[in-house]
Amino acid sequence: MNMFDKEEALEQLLSDVENLLEDLYQSGFDTVHDSTLEALDSMVRRTAAYGMELLSELLSQLTGGLTMRRHQMEKKEDALVRVYTQLYRYVSACRGKIECDKGVRYYMQ
């Protein structure tokens, strides 16, 4: 697998994570569908397989928090917003790094 294939695979993975975050943003943390939780759980495994341990851990924290929140009668402010924000920032930073790497390769040719 060459560098371009790896970048494309990573960009697709980040796009998939962004889509999940968008789904959560639209539905809210209180009305998360089972399929979204399953997709998040699957994404935890995929990101771990890519060696992205921090991303996998953040997704795992979010998935666990959302699962627990579904069983709470009283909804209160919790750390899910912080984890969600960390995920969004992480994905944005990864996208920026990919773009910087592309720029470096372009100008080094």
pLDDT tens-place values along the chain, 109 residues long: 566 688 899 999 999 999 999 999 998 888 888 999 999 999 999 999 999 999 999 999 999 999 988 776 666 667 899 999 999 999 999 999 999 988 898 898 8
Give me the pLDDT at residue 62, please: 95
Cα–Cα distance between 47 and 100 in angstroms, integer? Answer: 21
R_g of the chain computed on alpha carbons: 16
Structure pTM?
Answer: 0.87
Q: Distance (Å, rounded) from C-alpha 74 to C-alpha 102?
A: 48
Helix ranges (H only) for 1-109 are 3-27, 34-49, 53-70, 80-108
Q: Which residues contact 93 (CB under 8 A, 6 or more apart)?
A: none
Q: Are 55 and 87 in contact (CB under 8 A)?
A: yes
Please report the pLDDT score of residue 77 as a whole number: 61
Q: How far apart are CA 4 and CA 26, in angstroms?
A: 33
C-alpha 9/C-alpha 29 separation (Å) is 28
